[in-house]
Chain A
Amino acid sequence: MKRAVLALTALGLALGLVSCSGMTILSNYRRLENIELVRTITADAAPEGVTVSICGAAGKESGPRQYECSGPSMGVALGELMLMPLGRDAILSHAESLLVGEELAKTGMDQCLDYMERFSETRLDTGVLIVRGGRALDLAAGLTGKETPAPDVIAGLGKNISRMGEGYFFTCREIASSLAQNGCALVQCVKGEEGEKLFEERGELDIRPAGFAVLGTEGGPAYLTEEETLGTLVLLNKFRSKNMDLEVEGTVLTVSVDRAEAGFEPVFEDGALAGIDIALKLEANVICLTGDGALTDALYRKSAEEALSRRILAAVNAALRRSRQLGADFLDLEGVVRRRAPLKMERSGESWAEVFPRLALNVRAESTLLRTFDIVDPPDVAGEEENRSPWEKLIESLNGS
């Protein structure tokens, strides 16, 4: 008993002394105040191999910080960067975005993704972005203002890009998963633009979405147009909302598309996959009307709905065409079909590569204009007679009599 008490006392004392002296037992001890919180990593092609930079968060007393270093690979360069100039412990666990320059994206995208997925500190939900027409390092530097760090600007775009209907920040996990399953993956592209400097503390550049890039194609990433990007968003069911101008009977109607859902139904003939029926359900609200349009007129509304359907159908068809053209199933149609009809697909025994080029892809869209926001002249809702309250009917009959 005495021995046990002595042993426990000694252990307690040892723990107390060891811990209070800062000599902790675990090797990953880092003093909180020495930590450099990395929120954005950039990677660019360089003569030595790769140039990386890390963008720290803005502290209370210090402004935004950015450090860069070059090396033969991303791992080596980042390793040196964390050891060399800072005098602080850089941790990558809070990295929210990885910006890759267009040049490096052509040849070295694999090593970037490999590093992000295999390094124990980095998170798989880090967003990956390709910088079109420039270096990621320059974009990050341009975004950094006196008080606004580049990661804040990028995070701002990440929050709004889905609402604007102009893209989606794919994470390392999604990209790796898509590459493993489909052999190709989508990555969001961005570009730097000299914008209006609304606030003094903002940087020189503004970040803008620049469509999707498709990884896993020959000769580096293939870049999708704006329309193809829109179609891709709808088919992937990642569309949230977008404002669109529609030409309807000589007027320009601006609508906010708030819902765009794609439903897939594989069609089998003689045991083989013959096509996929794609049904799009669209819902929009009127924001603005330029010209003399009769918003309350059912025919006008129908024309508007048809115009919206045409617009979205065009985008979706463009995305499908591009997918076939590249031979890359970045829309994950195979996955959709296998989920919808796993046994039939198994029995057909055909590979997706054989089936995909000859598939009949029938896309149809059904649009609904929900609100016109015309207070003066409310819409002529079908079945109005039935929906009237008994009180309203009574007043009308009295007026008539």
Chain B
Amino acid sequence: MFRESKNVPPETGEDAPITAAAMEAVFADCYDYESRELHIGGREANRVRLCFIDGLVSGSDVAEQIIKPLTDPGRFGGEAVGSRAISMMLGGSVYVYTAKSRKALGEAVTDLLNGFCALIFDAERTAVTFEVKSQQRRSVDAPKEEKVVKGAKDAFVETMKVNTTLVRRKLRNPHLKIKEFSLGERAKTAVTLVYIDGFTNAGIVAEAARRVSRIEAEGVLTSSVIEENIVDNYRSPFPQVISTERADKFCMNLLEGRVGILADGLPLGFLVPGTFSQFMKVPEDHSAHYLVSSALTLLRYASVALTLLAPAFYVAVAMYHQEMIPTRLMQSMIDARASVPFPTAMEVIMMLLAFELLQEAGIRLPSPIGETVSIIGALIVGQSAVEASVVSPVVVVVIALAGIAGYTMPNQDMGSALRLCRFFLVLAAIALGMFGVATGCGLLIYHLASLESYGVPYMTPFAGAEGRHLGRALLRRPMTVKRDREPELKTGSGGEARL
């Protein structure tokens, strides 16, 4: 039988004084919260409370670097009590490289949650916190999503410190600044802003800092919490933040004058401003021969047109503008369609949906099964559908072509946006034929041209820039030729971004 406590509960606000009882109250019902009493210098009268979160700290480090020297009578003698002991600890009598003196309960709690342990001095209303983070973390590995053929194979992991180290190792420059923010009302996730001071446009840095600091969320556990909060137009399906798991790509963009954002717990780096042409590039462009890279970049742009327009163009031509089809092809199409019971519109929409279903199933299922599903879907179901006259072979070819062209997108977010637009264009083509396709394309171009990312036109250098910079987006110059900086990023001294 429980009895209601007559004691007054300790104050647990952010600025409340630090006491062992207050800390216990904050972490009440926390299975992983541990605390124990220590005797400084081995003297029972000199009591102090050690608190930490089990799992976040390294037990051996706590024992070796804190408990052992703290209880050593030779080190902490009779007079080493209270403020004297605190002063000794901060002065290096405890072998931990980071030690902080905390007066407010909120600060101490945050430290505990970040892998510190705290020694609480009730009488002084003070805690000394030591960084003794656990080393249990995923090791740096090759990127999983962004395949590397010829380049660095270190990808970001979930630990912020590891990620900042990866960046720091590639950019050994004191001007590389890493500004920290704590985000999330409850999760208190550490988010850092990475930029090269004096090189990256100060306006973009300030704006990125403003947007990151005003993120209101319970926690930063998914990438969209950051992405949707820092973009200019979150309603647009087109990505405006470059996200990458590759440290080399992250650093390359920092060197071009972009601002990077890293979040603890996310194995990704985010970069702003994001422009359309940037989503068409891959780091391999800088590894391969410049002619090959240029050809591949052009191919990617052609793929954009193909993945967007192929189904819509087919629908428009097959339903309304048959005169555009060459005679032999037209005859083949008529023959192929003769036994298909569904109208062309329904046939194409069905195939597009089936393609999306297969893709979704392939992604969600574990890798070996996912691949099997894709193969079964593409080969067996597709072949059977054609043989059963449910769809015509031409439609299968068109949809497959559009799908494959979509897979050439270096950025999956861009690929997804294009897939969405493909549906929109197909519907427009079904309703209005080529007029619909033209109208749809017009609206799409209007939307893209009206987007801005941190004051930089999204379609630059195709729109909102001088024509002479067009080649930079489409072609790569040899490394021996001096590279121009991207003028729209306004890097270096002078010039503020239009915000």
Contacts and interface: CB of A to CB of B under 8 A. Distances in A.
A26 interface: yes
A59 B331 contact: yes
A31 B323 CA distance: 13
Contacts of B430: 15, 19-20, 24
Nearest to B323: A93
Interface string B318-343: 11101100010011011101101001
A61 interface: yes
Interface string B424-456: 000110111101000000000000000000000
A298 interface: no
Interface string B409-437: 00000000000000000011011110100
A32 B431 contact: no
B253 interface: no
A60 B334 CA distance: 9
A37 interface: yes
Interface string B274-315: 000000000000000000000000000000000000000000
Given A20-B349, A59-B335, A91 B322 contact: yes
B333 A32 contact: yes
B327 A37 contact: yes
Contacts of A19: 345, 427, 430-431
A57 B335 CA distance: 11
A30 B343 CA distance: 10
Given A22-B345, A31-B344, A60-B335, A12 B322 contact: no
A18 interface: yes
Interface in A8-24: 12, 15-16, 18-20, 22, 24
Given A20-B345, A35-B334, A94-B330, A29 B319 contact: yes
Nearest to A91: B322
Nearest to A59: B335
Interface string A80-91: 000000000001
B328 to A, nearest CB: 9
B116 to A, nearest CB: 45
B432 A25 contact: yes
B431 A18 contact: yes
B346 interface: yes
Contacts of A61: 335, 338
Contacts of B338: 33, 59-61
A121 interface: yes
A96 B340 CA distance: 28
**Residue among B319, B346, B435 with the most chain A CB within 10 A?**
B319
Interface string A112-147: 000000000101000000000000000000000000
A39 interface: yes
B334 A32 contact: yes
Contacts of A16: 349, 427
A121 B318 contact: no
B322 A93 contact: yes
Q: Which bucket holds chain A's interface residue count?
A: 20 to 34
A28 interface: yes
B334 A22 contact: no
Contacts of B345: 19-20, 22, 24
A94 B327 contact: yes
A19 B424 CA distance: 12
B323 A32 contact: no
A96 B433 CA distance: 25
A121 B323 contact: yes
Given A12-B427, A20-B345, A30 B322 contact: yes
Interface in B118-159: none
B431 A37 contact: no
B427 A94 contact: no
Contact of B320 (A22, A26, A96, A121): A26
B354 to A, nearest CB: 15
Nearest to B434: A26
A123 B324 CA distance: 11
A57 B327 CA distance: 9
A322 B344 CA distance: 56
Nearest to B325: A94
B225 to A, nearest CB: 22
Contacts of B432: 25-26
A117 to B, nearest CB: 16
A33 B427 contact: no
A121 B322 CA distance: 10
A33 B343 CA distance: 9
Nearest to A60: B335
**Residue among A15, A19, A37, A93 with the most chain B CB within 10 A?**
A19
A96 B328 CA distance: 12
A15 B337 contact: no
B346 A32 contact: no
**Residue among A12, A28, A61 with the most chain B CB within 10 A?**
A28
A35 B428 CA distance: 23
A94 B323 contact: yes
A70 B49 CA distance: 109
A32 B318 contact: yes
Interface string A40-58: 0000000000000000010
Interface in A57-87: 57, 59-61
Contacts of B323: 91, 93-94, 121, 123
B153 to A, nearest CB: 44
B303 to A, nearest CB: 26
Given A57-B327, A121-B323, A33 B334 contact: yes
Contact of B322 (A26, A32, A59): A32
B442 to A, nearest CB: 16
Contacts of A59: 331, 334-335, 338
A19 B430 CA distance: 6
A30 B323 CA distance: 11
B481 to A, nearest CB: 46
B327 A31 contact: no
B431 A39 contact: no
Contacts of A96: 327
Contacts of A37: 327, 330-331, 334
A15 B345 CA distance: 11
B327 A39 contact: yes
Given A16-B427, A91-B322, A33 B340 contact: yes
A356 to B, nearest CB: 41
Contacts of B349: 16, 20
**Residue among B330, B349, B435 with the most chain A CB within 10 A?**
B330
Contacts of A91: 322-323
B437 to A, nearest CB: 12
A20 B346 contact: yes
A31 B344 CA distance: 8
A154 to B, nearest CB: 13
Complex A-B, nearest 7 residue pairs according to Cβ-Cβ distance, in ascending order: A93-B323, A19-B430, A60-B335, A33-B337, A32-B337, A94-B327, A19-B345
17 contacts: A12-B427, A15-B427, A15-B431, A20-B345, A20-B430, A22-B345, A24-B320, A24-B345, A25-B431, A26-B431, A29-B319, A30-B320, A32-B333, A57-B327, A93-B323, A94-B323, A123-B323
Given A20-B346, A35-B322, A37-B327, 18 more contacts: A15-B428, A19-B431, A20-B345, A24-B345, A26-B435, A30-B319, A31-B344, A32-B318, A32-B344, A33-B334, A35-B334, A37-B330, A37-B331, A57-B331, A59-B331, A61-B338, A93-B322, A94-B327
